[in-house]
Each structure stands twice: as structure tokens, then as C-alpha cells.
Amino acid sequence: MKRLILLALIPFILYPCTSAIISGKATIDGRPLLWKHRDTDELENKAVYVAEAGKLAYIGIANHSDSLNQEIWMGSNEAGFSIMNTASYNLNIGEKADVPDDQEGLFMRQALEKCRNLADFENMLEATKGERGVAANFGVIDAQGGAAYYETGCHSYVKYDANDPMTAPEGYLIRTNFSQSGQPNAGYGYIRYTSTSNLFFQKMRGGKLSANFLILEASRNLNHSLLQQDLRKMPPSNDALTPHYVLFRDYVVRHNSASVLVVRGVKKDENPELSALYYLPGWSLSALTIPLWVALGENFPDEIKSKSSAEPPILNQKALLLKKLCYPVTAGSGESYLNLSPLINVQNGGFDRKIREGDQLILNNIEALLLSFYDKQKLNHRDIQKFYKWYIPFVLDFYAQGNTQ
């Protein structure tokens, strides 16, 4: 009986992420984009810079609890190669590698250490057949304009090229927690897939896609495609203190949403060091964006690094504290019920609007920086540090002064 109960619980231990790969032909500036909205039980995430002899240097997002940075869940390296994944639950049906399962984080770390482009990654996939414990949709972009998903099991993989008009007529691909090449009608994330597809389709009708769109809209999408319900269009509470609970299941944003990474790549023949990482260090409705560049090395703010095993990054903590206002019910299935009142209300608008307004200002300043870098085809480290000197006090004051209450 105990064995049957355990087996019944296994399908619900999920890591449901939402992601997209976008080719340059679908973006406003012709540069490819990679996006991952990460969901995991490891809610305390950190940014790490790793440079080891004989390997490519990279910036990646790791679990705070991973003191050795053994597993990287999304990131970009000095060659302009970037990678992320979503777990796939309809691959490897009836198959098993001769290695442990759930090795996606380790596999992506190895890819960042050795791959310069899509071709290198494909060689890595060929070389590891039967020797990798993965079941994932790996999304990759490179500095030559490459942009593709690799639906990868332990023994095989199928490539979906975002530059191929037959595969991606609009120039982008979306993945959640099932694979197009996997067992039909299995896996998870079909509602999130449709919600995201609808949002992308609407955006493309009026123009092209951008990093700002992925941060401000896709990562904060509160539209449920099955229920046809947009939480931002519901009648709001009068104030933040009057509870207004909604069932919060199968939205892009979830209780276990931990971080977001958008990589804005480079055009073919551009300097790879111009690849920019937009990082949301925490729950996407309560975190503010910070930009990162691999060429800057470890010279990014300590507030998104782990100072010790006992102390998560400060900005991650700030975002998680704000998130708690939306989840006052902690017993039983409380995490399935979102209190909308702190997020959206009549009295002061709620922190959803204020976070997005703050992020818009930050994104405007990032854009100004990047345009100057693109013009000279070179990073200006002094300007980046000047930006950080403005950014950290701005964000800390933003949380401290009640702008989010």
C-alpha cells in the first residue's frame, strides 16, 4: 500500500517552467532572445560568475543552496552562447540512461563551459547519447544568430530551429513542460503554453518582440487561457487589507516561480561581449530587473550574490518578503490560493503596478546603456558601474519606502 501511495504522488512533484526562443527576425532590433521563467522548490536563487582554466567563463543562475555551483539552470558564456531548459514530462517514455536522472543543471553547466555555438552543443548531444540523465527542452542562442530548441532525452534529441520558417513561421518557439516530439497528450503546461502563445501572437500583431516585452508582460502574465480570465481585469479590492482570494493554478506566474532570465544576444559578426542578461532575482511579480554582462566578470552587485550558505542574496530576500503578502495561508494547500489585494487594489493600485513602473524606469536606463554599447561595439565598464551605483540604492529605497505596499 505504501508503494502505491508513493507512486501516486510522483507525478505531482513537478518543476514547471515557461520559456521561449526568439530569432532575430522576430525582434525589434534583429538580435535573438532567450527567455526562461523558472519554477522550482528552490526559491532562493543567485547569480554566479565562473571562470576556470581551460573552460569558457560564464554567468549562470544557480540555487542558493548549491554552494559549489554544480548545477546551472540558465546562463550565458563569454562566446555569446546561452542556454536554459524546461523539464519535459513526455520524453524518455520506457527509456532510461545508465546514469542518474534529473541531471539538466549539471548538463547545462558543462555546455556553458565548452560550447561556443549551436554546432558545439549538437556535438555535445551526439557525444552523450545514453550517458545523460535528462528529459528537457533545451533552448539555445549563439553569437552567430542561432536560436533553437533541442527536445532531449537520454538517448536522442530533436532540433527545432527558430530561424526555419517551416518550423517557426513567426520566428519564435515556446516550450513549457511537454515536448512536441514526445508522447502525445502527455506532459504538463498546456494551459501555460496557450496563455503564452496567445500573448506572443497579440504582440506580434502590433510589432515585434523585445526584452522589455518578455520582462514586463510575458514574465508577469496573469491571463489564464482556459478560464479566459485576466486577474488584472477583475474588479479589485478597495484596499490591500481586505482579502481577495483566487485559485492560482496553471498561470505562468506560480507560487514556486523563483526567477527569470532573458538573454538579449547579438547579431552575426557583432562583439559577443555585448550579450546582455536581464535577471529578475525572485518571484516575477515582486522582483526588479538587474542587467548582467559576462565580460564584466564577477564585478556585479553583491546584492544578487550569496554571501554565505546561511544568507541568500539581499534582492532575492526583498522579493520573497513582498511575495508573502500574497500568500498568508501557509497551511495545507494555501499555496494554491493567491490574495490579490496587496497586488491589485483601488486604494493605492497595489504593488503590481508599482513594480512594473519601477521596472520600466530601470529598463529605460538599460536600453540607453545598450544603445551606447552597440554604437561603439564595445562595453564601457565604467558606465556599467555607474549604472549599478544608481540601481542598488534605487531598488533598496523602492522596497524600503513603501512603494510596494
- Domain range for 357 is 16-400
3-class DSSP state of 58: strand
Task: Tell me the pLDDT tens digit for each residue of 52-65.
Answer: 999 999 999 999 99
Q: Residues for the chain: how many in total? A: 405
Cell 522589455 -> residue? 212
DSSP H/E element including 9 = helix 2-9
Domain contains 291: yes
Task: Tell me the pLDDT tens digit for each residue of 138-197.
Answer: 999 999 999 999 999 999 999 999 999 999 999 999 999 999 999 999 999 999 999 999
What is the residue type of 51?
Answer: A
Domain contains 11: no
Residue 37's domain is classified under what CATH number? 3.60.60.10
Task: Tell me the pLDDT tens digit for each residue of 211-260.
Answer: 999 999 999 999 999 999 999 999 999 999 999 999 999 999 999 999 99
Domain contains 102: yes
Say how many domains are in the chain.
1
Domain contains 50: yes
Please say whether the dihedral angle defined by the alpha carbons of residues 362, 146, 61 and 49, taken in this order, is positive or negative.
negative
3-class DSSP state of 220: helix
Measured CA to CA, the distance from residue 69 to residue 16 in angstroms comes to: 22
For position 13, what pLDDT does the model report? Answer: 58
Domain contains 375: yes
Q: Centre a 10 Å sphere on the Cβ of residue 102 and count the other Cβ atoms it contains.
A: 13
Domain contains 5: no
Global pTM?
A: 0.95
For position 354, what pLDDT does the model report? Answer: 95
pLDDT confidence bin for 290, thresholds 50/70/90:
very high
Domain contains 72: yes
- Predicted confidence (pLDDT) at residue 375 exceeds the cutoff of 60: yes
Domain contains 359: yes
- Predicted confidence (pLDDT) at residue 11 exceeds the cutoff of 80: no
| Joined grid coordinates for residue 240 | 490591500
